[in-house]
């Protein structure tokens, strides 16, 4: 592994608040599924910057769209009309298959969830002033801002920031009866993911999603699907909910939507689409011309190049390759996930060591939980690259071995 120059490690520790544990590598460029570090060493990227660079690094269509838009108009505020924002909202509606949907554009996944919380409250309070409660799933991840953190079903992440209020009830991700029991007339929304990404790449069972849909319909609440990690082709469908038996009222998007530029979106259909009025929410940078041009290039490229189908096919190949590792290595126990969001599960909590060994061999993956290695390669990943990954990850498993 190309060790970073000592200076960047020291300068980072000196100049940045210490919120990130970083791997000892400095990346300087990338193309497709390959990254290059400061020493010129190449890596195979099977993480895509946490499920973000789905078209691969330095995609020419995105680079051209950004350069072209940046040369014409970068910012003018949301006091005025700009075409890329409206074009993108229309394109999102088309890819969702929701002709009546409306979008709010922001800058990140947490912001998309924050906007959706406010939307769900406005929708709920219009019916009953006390209709502000949310039911969310344990293991769910929705962001680090305070309200999104409150939704996040991970008590350890809550602890340092309490109090976060008592408006969220968490239920196990696989317990339909508990979810049904938690939803009452004061519930304004139920929050789900099709596959819990940060929660360890755990698909949410169909019966839980069906129960969530039915419970929302029973009490007039919104079903919100956080598609920040699962959306924009990652699961082998345009959106994760399309791989499930239910249709949400609201989706939250971010990550892959602009292939690495900061963007977030909330898209609402039906009654949810009319819950916000003028002045209810805003963002200085949200929906800016450059990121919207990038997102339009992403969606156009995905359609033109058939990348959703490609992700479905490659996802089968990836799952098969990981099963071959699970079958051949004592340390690996199984595979879970959907499409191109997969995890190799381990017998012992040594995923950080496996990930470091992989990095040392030129493979970028991550330890999503102590006993699971997450793989989220770009949607353009080739079959030969999946084969190459299998060799590198297999060698990493052997290097770590089963601790005695
Ligand atoms: C499902 C989900 N929601 C929300 C977020 C937060 O997104 P961001 O880091 O862009 O705020 C993430 C990030 O991993 C996520 O996976």
Provide the pLDDT for residue 350. 98
Provide the pLDDT for residue 313. 98
Please check whether residue 17 lies inside any domain of the structure: yes
Please check whether residue 293 lies inside any domain of the structure: yes
Of 236, 269, 304, the position where a domain reaches its end is 304
Indicate whether residue 253 lines ligand 1 (CB < 6 A).
no
241 and 207 within one domain: yes
207 and 106 within one domain: yes
CB neighbour class for 358 (10 Å; exposed up to 12, middle 13-18, buried from 19): buried
196 and 102 within one domain: yes
Q: Say how many C-beta atoms besides its own lie within 10 A of residue 253's C-beta.
A: 29
Locate 180 and state its tokens: 């049904």
Block mean pLDDT (10 aa), the chain, length 404:
72 95 96 98 98 98 98 98 98 98 98 98 98 98 98 95 97 98 98 98 98 98 98 98 98 98 98 97 98 98 98 98 97 98 98 98 98 98 98 98 78
121 and 53 within one domain: no
- Residue 232's closest CA among 109, 58, 384? 109
Domain membership of residue 240 as a residue range? 73-304
Atom 3 of ligand 1, residue of closest alpha carbon? 142
Q: Report the atom number in ligand 1 closest to the C-alpha of 252.
A: 3
Provide the pLDDT for residue 402. 84
181 and 97 within one domain: yes
Q: What is the rounded distance in angstroms from the CA atom of residue 157 to the CA atom of residue 141?
A: 10
Indicate whether residue 213 lines ligand 1 (CB < 6 A).
no
Indicate whether residue 153 lines ligand 1 (CB < 6 A).
no
The pTM for the full model equals 0.97
Of 304, 321, 352, the position where a domain reaches its end is 304
54 and 175 within one domain: no
Indicate whether residue 54 lines ligand 1 (CB < 6 A).
no
Cα 25 from chain centroid (whole Å): 23
């Amino acid at each position: 592994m190309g060790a970073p120059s000592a200076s960047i490690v020291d300068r980072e520790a000196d100049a940045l608040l210490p919120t990130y544990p970083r791997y000892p590598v400095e990346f300087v460029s990338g193309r497709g599924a390959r990254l290059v570090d400061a020493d010129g060493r190449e890596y195979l990227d099977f993480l895509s910057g946490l499920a973000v660079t789905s078209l691969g690094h330095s995609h020419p269509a995105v680079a051209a769209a950004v350069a072209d838009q940046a040369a014409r108009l970068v910012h003018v505020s949301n006091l005025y009309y700009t075409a890329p924002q409206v074009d993108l909202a229309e394109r999102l509606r088309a890819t969702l298959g929701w002709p009546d949907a409306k979008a709010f554009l922001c800058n990140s996944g947490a912001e998309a969830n924050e906007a959706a919380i406010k939307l769900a409250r406005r929708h709920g309070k219009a019916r009953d002033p006390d209709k502000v409660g949310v039911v969310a799933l344990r293991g769910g991840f929705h962001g680090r801002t305070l309200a999104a953190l409150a939704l996040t079903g991970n008590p350890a992440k809550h602890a340092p920031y309490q109090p976060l209020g008592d408006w969220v009830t968490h239920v196990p991700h696989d317990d339909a009866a508990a979810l049904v029991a938690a939803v009452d007339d004061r519930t304004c929304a139920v929050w789900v993911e099709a596959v819990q990404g940060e929660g360890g790449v755990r698909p949410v069972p169909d019966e839980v999603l069906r129960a969530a849909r039915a419970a929302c319909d029973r009490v007039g609440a919104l079903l919100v699907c956080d598609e920040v990690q699962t959306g924009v082709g990652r699961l082998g469908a345009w959106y994760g909910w399309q791989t499930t038996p239910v249709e949400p009222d609201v989706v939250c998007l971010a990550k892959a939507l602009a292939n690495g530029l900061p963007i977030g979106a909330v898209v609402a259909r039906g009654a949810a689409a009319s819950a916000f009025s003028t002045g209810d929410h805003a963002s200085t940078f949200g929906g800016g011309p450059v990121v919207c041009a990038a997102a339009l290039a992403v969606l156009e490229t995905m359609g033109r190049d058939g990348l959703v189908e490609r992700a479905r096919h490659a996802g089968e190949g990836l799952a098969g390759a990981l099963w071959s590792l699970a079958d051949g290595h004592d340390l690996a126990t199984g595979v879970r996930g959907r499409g191109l969001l997969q995890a190799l599960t381990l017998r012992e909590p040594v995923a950080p060591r496996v990930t470091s060994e992989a990095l040392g061999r030129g493979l970028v993956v991550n330890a999503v939980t102590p006993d699971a290695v997450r793989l989220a390669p770009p949607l353009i990943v080739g079959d030969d690259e999946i084969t190459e990954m299998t060799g590198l990850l297999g060698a990493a498993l052997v290097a770590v071995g089963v601790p005695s």
